[in-house]
């Protein structure tokens, strides 16, 4: 695995320096190979078993995570906190940046350089594309992106892929349909980039104004993935092994009348699920704002709550790996 600036940062005591994750930033899923992913999934399986058996461990005792969020978050921030604490480490949470020196006009590089005086690893969510890569260049400690604007959300991509694998036992050979806001949805960008490493068929289902960005579409073509684009969910619902539904990202629209036109474009109801395969996974990064009806929640194919739980195991695996403990 190569990070964005090619250097391995030195962190922690008695680390496992041999492993390619040690001391690395995580800013885009394009940095991972299939071997890296198998390794992280294997560690995530162990973390799941550990949490279920004993709840916590002291693997990261004495280590501190700086959790810096410039955008709202429920799942990502709390699962990083839970992951660090279940590994015996502790957390400096900076969520309402209005209460930090950011509100005094401090730049991102200075805030990062401050936090890394106290923390061993930094998790950053920021509204600007490329902010995590920029932070990683300034930081001498590993930076893990928790989403940069409409760019990527690499740890969500990892937990989504891990969920597909956990639910269906394979990734190769699957038909994955991504539905909704493919333009602004950063989780879609990361997951699509990860799926191009596997022998998958991809369907991108979106209204015209929310289609997958050309650049990412081009990456799929270069990787030789068969890609189908449509605005009709009914064209793919009965053939897909995974249906990955997303929220229309209201906060990214310059013109809210455009948002109003597309916000209720897709709604998955029990009637829609009746057309889906018997063995498939219905996923959503959450939060949902109407795209999946509550009556679908009890369907065994509804994987979104398991997906959310998997986020903690994946983040435990990543934290342990970049700090050289696995």
**Is residue 12 involved in binding ligand NCD (CB under 6 A)?**
no
Looking at beta carbons only, is 28 or 156 nearer to ligand NCD? 156
Site residue total, ligand NCD (CB under 6 A): 10
Q: Using the rule CB under 6 A, is 151 a contact of ligand NCD?
A: no
Local structure of residue 324 (DSSP, 8 states): T
Chain residues 225-284 in contact with ligand NCD, contact rule CB under 6 A: 247
CB-nearer residue toward ligand NCD: 187 or 200: 187
- Contact flag: residue 285 with ligand NCD (CB under 6 A): yes
Q: Which of 64, 179, 286, 319 binds ligand NCD (CB under 6 A)?
A: 286
Site string for ligand NCD, 153-192 (x = CB under 6 A): x--x-----------------------------xx-----
Check the CA dihedral 32-35-38-39 and report its sign: negative
| N-to-C CA span, the chain | 16
Q: Which of 23, 66, 89, 147 binds ligand NCD (CB under 6 A)?
A: 147
95 forms part of the interface with ligand NCD (CB under 6 A): no
Q: To 5 degrees, how large is the angle CA 45–CA 43–CA 58?
A: 100
C-beta neighbour count of 264 within 10 angstroms:
11
Is residue 293 involved in binding ligand NCD (CB under 6 A)?
Answer: no
Query: By CB under 6 A, is residue 315 in contact with ligand NCD?
Result: no
325 scored as a contact of ligand NCD (CB under 6 A): no
CA angle (37 as vertex; 36, 42 as ends), nearest 5: 100
C-alpha span between 154 and 82 (Å, rounded): 18
Query: Smallest Cα–Cα separation from 86: which of 53, 133, 119?
Result: 53
Give dist(CA 226, CA 176) in Å, integer: 11
Q: Which of 153, 196 has the CB closer to ligand NCD?
A: 153
Closest separation in Å from C-beta 246 to ligand NCD: 6
Picking from 198, 189, 187, the residue whose alpha carbon sits closest to that of residue 38 is 198
Closest by CA position to 314, among listed 66, 8, 86: 86
Measured from the CB atom, the residue of 78 and 90 that comes closer to ligand NCD is 78
Q: Does 76 bind ligand NCD (CB under 6 A)?
A: yes
CB 7 within 8 A of CB 168: no
For binding to ligand NCD (CB under 6 A), which residues are involved? 75-76, 147, 153, 156, 186-187, 247, 285-286
């Amino acid at each position: 695995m190569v990070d964005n600036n090619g250097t391995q940062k030195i962190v922690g005591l008695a680390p496992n320096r041999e492993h390619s994750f040690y001391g690395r930033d995580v800013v885009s899923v394009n940095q991972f190979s299939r071997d890296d992913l198998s390794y992280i999934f294997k560690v995530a399986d162990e973390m799941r078993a550990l949490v279920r058996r004993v709840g916590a461990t002291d693997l990261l005792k004495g280590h501190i995570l700086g959790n810096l969020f410039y955008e709202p978050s429920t799942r990502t921030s709390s699962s990083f906190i839970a992951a660090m604490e279940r590994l015996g480490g502790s957390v400096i949470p900076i969520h309402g940046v209005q209460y930090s020196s950011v509100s005094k006009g401090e730049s991102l590089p200075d805030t990062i350089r401050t936090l890394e005086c106290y923390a061993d690893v930094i998790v950053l969510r920021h509204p600007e594309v490329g902010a995590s890569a920029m932070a990683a260049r300034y930081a001498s400690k590993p930076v893990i992106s928790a989403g940069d604007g409409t760019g990527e959300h690499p740890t969500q991509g990892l937990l989504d892929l891990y969920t597909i694998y956990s639910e269906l036992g394979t990734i190769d050979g699957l038909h994955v349909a991504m539905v909704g806001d493919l333009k602004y949805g950063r989780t879609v960008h990361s997951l699509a980039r990860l799926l191009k490493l596997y022998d998958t068929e991809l369907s991108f289902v979106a209204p015209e104004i929310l289609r997958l960005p050309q650049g990412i579409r081009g990456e799929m073509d270069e990787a030789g993935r068969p890609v189908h684009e449509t605005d009709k969910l009914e064209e793919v619902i009965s053939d897909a092994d995974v249906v990955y539904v997303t929220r229309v990202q209201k906060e990214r629209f310059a013109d809210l009348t455009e948002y109003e036109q597309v916000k209720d474009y897709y709604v998955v109801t029990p009637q829609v699920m009746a057309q889906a395969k018997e063995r498939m996974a219905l996923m959503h990064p959450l939060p949902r704002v109407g795209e999946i009806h509550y009556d679908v929640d009890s369907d065994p194919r509804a994987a979104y709550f398991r997906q959310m739980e998997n986020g903690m195991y994946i983040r435990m695996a990543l934290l342990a790996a970049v700090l050289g403990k696995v």
